């Protein structure tokens, strides 16, 4: 198996549960605390491609930063939405697990088992 990475927020229960699930599978992933080490625009673009999602599908739309930055504006480009997630990583849905050239959002945590 290739190296497994998790974009993790230790304050998020789903993120903690997903990390625990990986460890129960005997996997010690690379842990990326994305709030302090946010992904680059290129990394986010790759993650979106792996997930087959558009940027808004990966955004936490109830966060204040979403409304405060007018990110509900339908005229915003994919690049602008990705740039907003890089600038405000709290907007990124969590956790995201990367493994075997695939990606999964751990909501529910068991979803990540599909890519292992």
How far is the C-alpha of 33 from the C-alpha of 114, rounded, in Å? 22
Token digits of residue 25: 């599978």
| 86-18-44 Cα angle (round to 5) | 20
Q: What is the pLDDT of residues 51-60, one digit of tens each?
A: 999 999 999 9
Domains, in order of start, for the chain: 5-115 (3.40.30.10)
User: Is 9 an active-site residue?
Assistant: no
* Best CA proximity match to 20, nearest among 104, 89, 97, 91: 97
Is residue 2 scored above 90 in pLDDT? no
**Which pTM value belongs to this model?**
0.94
In angstroms, the CA 86 to CA 1 distance is 29
Q: Which of 5, 8, 9, 12 is catalytic?
A: 12
Q: What is the pLDDT of residues 53-97, one digit of tens each?
A: 999 999 999 999 999 999 999 999 999 999 999 999 999 999 999
pLDDT higher than 90, residue 110:
yes
Tokens of 64: 């204040």
């Amino acid at each position: 198996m290739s190296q497994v990475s998790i974009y993790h927020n230790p304050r998020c229960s789903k993120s903690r549960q997903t990390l625990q699930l990986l460890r129960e599978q005997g996997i010690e992933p690379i842990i990326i605390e994305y709030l302090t080490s946010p992904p680059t625009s290129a990394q986010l673009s790759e993650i979106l491609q792996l997930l087959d999602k558009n940027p808004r599908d990966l955004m936490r739309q109830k966060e204040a930063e979403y409304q405060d930055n007018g990110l509900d504006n339908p005229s915003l480009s994919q690049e602008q939405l990705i740039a907003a997630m890089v600038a405000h990583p709290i907007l990124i849905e969590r956790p995201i697990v990367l493994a075997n050239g695939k990606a999964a959002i751990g909501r529910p945590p068991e979803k990540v088992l599909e890519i292992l």
